[in-house]
């Protein structure tokens, strides 16, 4: 769902703790958990049952809470998608420099294990897995 990914990206960029309360095939409701009285909310629902288009019904993008430096949405999959070009150019990029890049770009701390998993994921994405390569062995022979 594109809207769900957009809300998660918004949470990462702005450093806000946003929770998707109602998240099913018909509707999506997002609220901020950063502060007790943070007025951020977003409610969207399907435009029509036959289409997969969502429309935002109500929303308030104001925040009274502070920035969070660790979010669950910043996973190794997200890191792989964001930094795959950099990892493709420099496969021997060390963990510390990639952590510093994420901190500089998004003001967010990520663990070294997330970086390891993102590098492994990017390597599989770039080179392909060993299982796929072994399956293609007959094509080369």
* End-to-end Cα separation, the chain, in angstroms: 42
Q: What is the DSSP string of 69-116?
A: S--TTS-HHHHHHHHHHHHHH-TT--HHHHHHHHHHHHS----HHHHH
Report residue 24 as tokens: 């099913």
Q: Residue range 135-140: average pLDDT?
A: 79
Across 19-28, 107-116, 131-140, least confident range? 131-140
Encode pLDDT of 58-108 as tens digits. 999 899 888 888 888 889 999 998 888 888 888 778 899 999 999 999 888
Residue 131 predicted with pLDDT over 90: no
Q: What is the pTM of this model?
A: 0.78
């Amino acid at each position: 769902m594109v809207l769900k990914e957009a809300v998660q990206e918004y949470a990462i960029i702005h450093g806000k703790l946003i929770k998707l309360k109602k998240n099913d095939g018909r509707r999506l409701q997002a609220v901020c958990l950063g502060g007790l009285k943070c007025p951020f909310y977003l409610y969207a629902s399907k435009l029509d049952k036959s289409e997969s288009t969502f429309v935002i019904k109500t929303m308030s993008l104001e925040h009274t809470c502070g920035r969070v430096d660790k979010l669950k949405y910043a996973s190794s999959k997200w890191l792989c998608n964001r930094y795959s070009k950099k990892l493709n150019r420099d496969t021997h990029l060390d963990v510390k420099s990639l952590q510093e890049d994420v901190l500089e770009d998004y003001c967010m701390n990520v663990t070294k294990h997330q970086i390891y998993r993102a590098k492994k994921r990017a390597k599989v994405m770039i080179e392909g897995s060993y299982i796929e390569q072994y399956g293609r062995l007959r094509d080369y022979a």
